[in-house]
Amino acid sequence: MKIFVSLLAGVSTLILSSPAIAVSESNQITNSEKFSLFDNSYSFEETNLKILAPLYKAQGFYAGQEEQLIQELERHKKQFGENHISVASTLHKLAQLNFNKGKYKEAEILFKQSLELAEQILGKNHPVLATIMDNLALSYLNEKRYSEAETLFKESLKMKENLLGKNNKDILYGLNNLALLYDTTGRYTEAEPLFNRSLKLTKELLGYNHEYVVNILNNLGSLYDKTGRYSEAEAVLNESLELGRKVLGDNHPTVASILNNLGVLYFNQKKYSEAEPLLKKTLQLFKELLGDNHPNTKKVKENYEFTQKQLSL
């Protein structure tokens, strides 16, 4: 009986604005300056969760970040006007923050605002648009709007390949996320080669000791579990866990999601006594890092409680 919830990792990018940009009195900026506002693409976890996870403590950090970003948005609007690339960048950061809080509808609205404004400023064929589209598609995926997500993922990936080539680090985000959609909708034969291609490219461009390798291994291990390839799943998930602890530390949401997926794997093999402590640890971590009301916390709580019931039978 496979009713458990695996936690898959979408590779999202946070577009950061430069600390300071010289702008003329007419608020005009050069093409290079426009791009500098968006050219540093980082994982949200890499820039925030990895460094600041000890400060989270049930959403306290989120609240502080949101307040700062709202103030930044108003400051940019006042300084540069409504139709400025800095405004689009801050809208995107606010969207990413809401996404990471599990507020997918709110994130969707902000991603759309950022996308519309960036398109007005940069045109319709720019890598920045592809990045925002990819993150908007992740919101659709979490809202279970699969057809819309697939269309946008494919459009974003095609744009990136045309503009940046097929061996660029930005491509691997799109490969993983499209694979994620196929996995979520049960299209495993389509998902697996994309995960493998993304994994190979990530290792080549970013190296093995990178959190994206951790994420993709986690996703791949979960896919093996769902397709009944339990020994492969266990090996890959344990590899992901070992690397995740090395790269991110023990108290990290990505590491917690791997623990959940290992617990799911053991549950699916009816190894309930092995699944239970892993799910208990995952639930504890998510409560501390993400709070009780985050979607991932709720999913893991269901997994843990159902395992306890199986143990009591």
Q: Are 135 and 13 in contact (CB under 8 A)?
A: yes
In whole angstroms, how far apart are CA 243 and each of 36, 56, 212, 217?
32, 22, 11, 10
How does pLDDT run across 27-41, given as a tens digit for each residue? 333 343 343 344 333
Band of pLDDT at residue 11, cut at 50, 70 and 90: very low
What does 2-64 look like in DSSP terms, one character per residue? Answer: ------------EE---S-----TT----HHHHHHTT--EE-HIIIIIHHHHHHHTTTHHHHH
Beta-bridge partner residues of 15: 41
The fold for domain 14-18+33-312 equals 1.25.40
Domain locations along the chain = 14-18+33-312
CA 282, CA 265: separation in Å to the nearest integer? 14
Band of pLDDT at residue 189, cut at 50, 70 and 90: very high
Band of pLDDT at residue 22, cut at 50, 70 and 90: very low
CA 291, CA 289: separation in Å to the nearest integer? 6
How does pLDDT run across 223-249, given as a tens digit for each residue? 999 999 999 999 999 999 999 999 999
CA 63, CA 40: separation in Å to the nearest integer? 24
